[in-house]
Amino acid sequence: MAENKVNFGLSKVYYAVLTEGTTNSWATPVHVPGAVSLTIDDNSTSTPFYADNITYYRSFANNGYSGTLEMARIPEAMMADVFGITESTTDKVIYEYSSVQPKPFALLFQREGDDSAELAVLYKVTPTTKPTRGSSTIEDAPTPVTQSFDFEASPLTTGTTKQIGLISAMTAADTTTTTRSAWFTTVNVPS
């Protein structure tokens, strides 16, 4: 495959809940249908050190990313797995409690390209807001109301030597077919 000149589109959004430890592990990725948009902004910082009346040295810290994921609707499974909003077994009502903290997860997705699809993963995504909820009246035709939430994608601070500091990964033009075909079945990590 040739290297893409441009990327466009968003599809195949998956999440995999992260369990942090000596060896980080991720649950089996779960598909979230209805991808609308994904914005990922750099959280890096650059700090200058001045000497001899110039910027003598500049330190750089890669702090990961912040972003927003917008979906047609956040499914109940993701609301339970990530946000801790659960359904009662007795009355089948979904309850939200203030004491529940969101769980970190890997965010996997696909971006189209002019030559091939680019597959990507953010290894430790932590929601910083709950999914938006809203409704609007129907006018001439029903217009879907989407849901979105903000997140931070941070470097891994635990795990194996190759996992510590890991933030993201994406496929390249020459990524093997085996790796590409397994991308959404398990979270790909360096071996």
Q: Residue 113's beta-bridge partner residues?
A: 7
Per residue of the chain (191 residues), what is the pLDDT tens digit?
777 687 788 999 999 999 998 889 999 999 999 999 999 999 888 889 999 998 989 888 888 999 999 999 999 999 999 999 988 889 989 888 989 999 999 999 999 877 778 999 999 999 999 999 888 888 888 888 899 999 999 999 998 889 999 999 999 888 999 999 999 999 999 97
| pLDDT value at residue 5 | 80
| pLDDT value at residue 46 | 87
| pLDDT value at residue 134 | 83
| pLDDT value at residue 133 | 87
| pLDDT value at residue 157 | 92
For residues 155-187, b (16+ Cβ closer than 10 Å) or e, as one string?
Answer: bbeebeeebeebbbbebeeebeeeebeebbeeb
| pLDDT value at residue 60 | 85
**175 SS3 class:** coil
Alpha carbon of 172 to those of 6, 21, 23: distances in Å? 13, 29, 26
Contact assessment for residue 111 and residue 118, using Cβ atoms and an 8 Å cutoff: yes
Domain boundaries, the chain: 7-49+56-180
